Chain A
Amino acid sequence: MKGIEVLKRGLITENPTFVQLLGMCPTLAVTTSLKNGLGMGLSATAVLIASNVIISLLRKLIPDKIRIAAYIVIIATAVTLIQMILNAYLPDLASSLGIFIPLIVVNCIILARAEAFASKNTVGKSALDGLGMGLGFTGALCIISAVREILGSGTIWNIQLYGDVIQPASIITLAPGGFIVLGIIIGVINAIKGRHESKAAGERG
Chain B
Amino acid sequence: MAKEIISIIIAALLTENFVMVKFYGICPFLGVSKKVETAMGMGMAVTFVMAIASMITWLVNHFFLQQFNLEYLQTIAFILIIAGLVQFVEMFVKKSMPSLYNALGIYLPLITTNCAVLGVTLLNVQNEYNFFLSFLYGTFAALGFTLAIILMAGIREYLDEKAVAAPFRGFPIALITAGLMAIAFTGFSGFSI
Q: With CB as the reference atom, state the residue of chain B lying closest to A177.
A: B179
Of B1-9, B17-25, B54-62, B154-162, the one with at least 4 CB within 8 A of chain A = B17-25
- The tally of residues in A whose CB lies under 8 Å from a CB in B reads 40
Query: A111 vs B79: C-alpha distance in the bound complex, in angstroms?
Result: 13
Q: Select A102's contact among B26, B30, B75, beta carbons within 8 Å.
A: B75
Closest Cβ of chain A to B12, distance in Å, is: 15
> By the criterion CB–CB under 8 Å, are B185 and A24 in contact?
no
* Interface residue ranges of B40-85 to A (CB < 8 Å): 72-76, 79-80, 83
B76 contacts which chain A residues (CB < 8 A)?
73, 76-77, 80
- The tally of residues in B whose CB lies under 8 Å from a CB in A reads 44
Given known A-B contacts A25-B23, A183-B173, A190-B167, A99 and B122 have beta carbons under 8 A apart: yes
- Interface of chain A, helix or strand or loop or mixed? helix
Q: Select B113's contact among A106, A175, A188, beta carbons within 8 Å.
A: A106
Query: Does B193 reach chain A (CB closer than 8 Å)?
Result: no
* Interface residue ranges of A148-205 to B (CB < 8 Å): 171, 174-180, 182-184, 186-188, 190-191, 194
Query: A182 vs B171: C-alpha distance in the bound complex, in angstroms?
Result: 10
Q: With CB as the reference atom, state the residue of chain A lying closest to B17.
A: A175
Given known A-B contacts A99-B126, A108-B27, A175 and B172 have beta carbons under 8 A apart: no
Could you tell me which A residues sit within 8 Å of B by CB distance? 21, 24-25, 28-29, 68-69, 72-73, 76-77, 79-80, 83-84, 99, 102-103, 105-108, 111, 171, 174-180, 182-184, 186-188, 190-191, 194
Query: Could you list 23 examples of A-B contacts with CB < 8 Å?
Result: A25-B25, A72-B80, A73-B76, A73-B80, A77-B76, A84-B72, A102-B75, A105-B75, A105-B118, A106-B113, A106-B114, A171-B186, A175-B185, A176-B180, A176-B183, A178-B23, A178-B182, A179-B182, A186-B171, A186-B175, A190-B166, A190-B172, A191-B167
